[in-house]
């Protein structure tokens, strides 16, 4: 086993946490300066930054194992919802705005459903390519463009939290050093990227040493590894009382993973996979429905408290056991 890879595996956690702090701090300053809501920042800037590990792993993995690439995204989305929201919900109750439930979280269901439809269509075609081809990649990236237009063109204009109130607007704005802010955001993104990559490389090294299959690695070890930036960013956001950033980061990352990461990956190299992953894609869709259902009909509507958090973590452990037993 490579000692350097293992050392980087440990260092990766430090880079990951510090990178999350820089990214959150820099993005929050920009949000306050331009009157942009925490939700928008979480859905875009931070979601993109924390999705970089999935993107890099996906592009590199697609050349070696398309199942690893797709398993990484599907497993990561499941981990984002059940593991990250579960852990963060134990630390602090997550109260979500009504508009977020019926806009962004519904969009999350649409993304999971779109992936399921594209995959199902391929499997129902006799003699066809089983997976995502370049046309599917273009479709997914088109949805990504629609999401970005919707976020900046629509939500940013109508979100009541997107602008400061009159009293705040009348206050003189403090001068900020944009150079240092952008450096902090850039360093934070790099820290997340490198930290996630080092952790994943070390995890793969360990898993391979013990003879775990690539498909299982993608759904579990790699998925959890590439979800660590989202976890770190969400925990830091909660510590700074930015619940919208924590939730927006997870939902936005899920959308980035399916629309952009998978879309670009399939466009660069068609992603074929086995029948087993179809079930995981269905589970991902079910998890998106569970998140929406929790917000709409849960004991405490529009909130993930300790009860819901425990349920999410239990479901994630159950999924991991299922994935390991299935092999």
Integer Cα distance of 25 and 186 in angstroms: 12
Token pair listed for 203: 């995890």
Largest CA distance in the chain: 66
What per-residue confidence (pLDDT) applies to 299?
A: 61
pLDDT at position 33 over 90: no
Q: Residue 319 — very low, low, confident or very high, per pLDDT cuts 50/70/90?
A: very high
Please tell me the predicted confidence (pLDDT) of residue 175.
65
Task: Report, as an integer, the average pLDDT of 30-54.
Answer: 75
Q: Which of 8-22, 83-97, 117-131, 158-172 has the lowest mean pLDDT?
A: 158-172
What mean pLDDT is predicted for residues 178-190?
86
Ranked by mean pLDDT, the top range of 119-133, 211-225, 285-299 is 285-299
CATH for 37-161+213-326?
1.20.1420.30
CB atoms within 10 A of CB 99: 14
A 10 A CB-CB count for 201 gives 20
Q: What is the mean pLDDT of residues 95-106?
A: 75
Q: CA 1: distance to chain centroid?
A: 30
> What pLDDT band is residue 190 in, cutting at 50, 70 and 90?
confident
Question: Residue 311: which residues within 8 A CB-CB, separation 6 or more?
Answer: 86, 294
pTM for this prediction: 0.80
Highest mean pLDDT among 121-125, 153-157, 312-316: 312-316
The model's confidence at residue 23, banded by pLDDT at 50, 70 and 90, is: confident
pLDDT at 82 over 90: yes
Residues 6+ apart with CB under 8 A from 156: 36, 37, 40, 162
pLDDT for residue 70: 84
- In this predicted structure, what is the pLDDT of residue 105? 85
Question: Phi then psi for 306, rounded to 5 degrees?
Answer: -65, -35
Q: Report, as an integer, the average pLDDT of 190-206.
A: 80
pLDDT at 189: 84
Question: What does the mean pLDDT of the chain come to?
Answer: 80
Averaged pLDDT for residues 95-110: 79
Sign of CA pseudo-dihedral 309, 72, 6, 188: negative
pLDDT score of 35: 75
Instruction: For residue 42, give the DSSP letter.
Output: I
Q: Which residue has the higher pLDDT, 4 or 302?
A: 4
What whole-number distance in Å separates Cα of residue 310 and Cα of residue 70?
27
Domain segments of the chain as ranges: 37-161+213-326
State yes or no: pLDDT of 157 exceeds 60.
no
């Amino acid at each position: 086993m490579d000692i350097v890879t293992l050392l980087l595996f440990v260092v990766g956690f430090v880079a990951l946490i510090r990178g999350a702090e820089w990214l959150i701090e820099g993005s929050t300053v920009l949000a306050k300066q331009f009157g942009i809501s925490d939700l928008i920042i979480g859905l875009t800037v931070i979601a993109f930054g924390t999705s970089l590990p999935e993107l890099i792993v996906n592009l590199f993995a697609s050349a070696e194992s398309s199942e690893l690439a797709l398993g990484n995204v599907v497993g990561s989305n499941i981990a984002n919802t059940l593991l990250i929201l579960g852990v963060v919900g134990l630390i602090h109750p997550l109260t979500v705005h009504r508009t977020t439930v019926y806009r962004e979280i519904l969009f999350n269901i649409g993304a999971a459903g779109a992936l399921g439809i594209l995959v199902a269509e391929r499997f129902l075609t006799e003699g066809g390519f089983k997976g995502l081809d370049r046309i599917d990649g273009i479709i997914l990236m088109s949805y990504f463009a629609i999401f970005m237009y919707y976020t900046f063109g629509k939500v940013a204009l109508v979100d009541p939290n997107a602008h400061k109130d009159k009293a705040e607007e009348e206050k003189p704005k403090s001068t900020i050093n944009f150079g240092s802010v952008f450096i902090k955001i850039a360093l934070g993104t790099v820290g997340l990227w490198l930290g996630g990559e080092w952790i994943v490389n070390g995890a793969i090294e360990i898993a391979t040493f013990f003879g775990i299959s690539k498909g299982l690695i993608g759904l579990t070890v790699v998925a959890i590894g590439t979800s660590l930036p989202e976890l770190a960013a969400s925990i830091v956001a909660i510590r700074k009382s930015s619940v919208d950033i924590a939730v927006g980061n997870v939902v936005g990352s899920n959308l980035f993973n399916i629309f952009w990461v998978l879309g670009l990956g399939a466009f660069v190299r068609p992603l074929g996979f086995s029948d087993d992953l179809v079930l995981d894609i269905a589970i991902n869709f079910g998890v998106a429905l569970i998140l929406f259902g929790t917000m709409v009909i849960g004991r405490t509507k529009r909130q993930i408290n300790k009860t819901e958090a425990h349920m999410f973590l239990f479901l994630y452990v159950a999924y991991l056991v299922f994935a390991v037993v299935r092999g």
